[in-house]
Amino acid sequence: MTASTEIREEVIERKAQPYYTPEEYLKLEEAAEFRSEYHDGKIIPMTGGTPNHNQIALNFGGAINFATIGKAYRVNVNDLRLWIPSKRVYTYPDVMVVAGKLEFLEGRKDTITNAVMVAEVLSKSTANYDRGDKFKLFRTIPTLREYILIDQYEMHVEQFSKTDDNKWVLSEYDGADAVLVLSSVQFEMSLGEMYDRVDFESEYDE
Q: State the average pLDDT for the chain.
A: 91
Same domain, 153 and 68: yes
pLDDT at 202: 76
The pLDDT-based confidence of 125 (bands split at 50, 70, 90) is confident
Q: Give the tens place of pLDDT for each residue, 27-83.
A: 999 999 899 999 999 999 987 789 999 999 999 999 999 999 999 999 999 889 999
| 154 CB burial (10 A radius; 0-12, 13-18, 19+) | exposed
Structurally, the chain folds into a number of domains equal to: 2
16 has a pLDDT exceeding 70: no
Regarding whether 95 and 25 lie in a shared domain, the answer is: no
Note the pLDDT tens digit of each residue in 162-188: 999 999 999 999 999 999 999 999 999
How far apart are the C-alpha atoms of 43 and 189, rounded to whole Å? 35
Q: Within a domain: residue 204?
A: no
Do 73 and 170 belong together in one domain?
Answer: yes
| 10 band by pLDDT with thresholds 50, 70 and 90 | low
Which residue in 21, 45, 49 sits closest to 33, CA to CA? 45
Q: Is the pLDDT of residue 153 over 90?
A: yes
Domain span including residue 18: 3-45
Flag whether 200 is in a domain: no
pLDDT level of residue 201 (50, 70, 90 thresholds):
confident
Q: CA of 171: how far to CAs of 101, 141, 149, 181, in Å?
A: 29, 21, 11, 10
Establish if 80 belongs to a structural domain.
yes
Q: What is the CA radius of gyration of the chain?
A: 17
Please indicate, yes or no, whether residues 57 and 41 belong to a single structural domain of this protein.
no
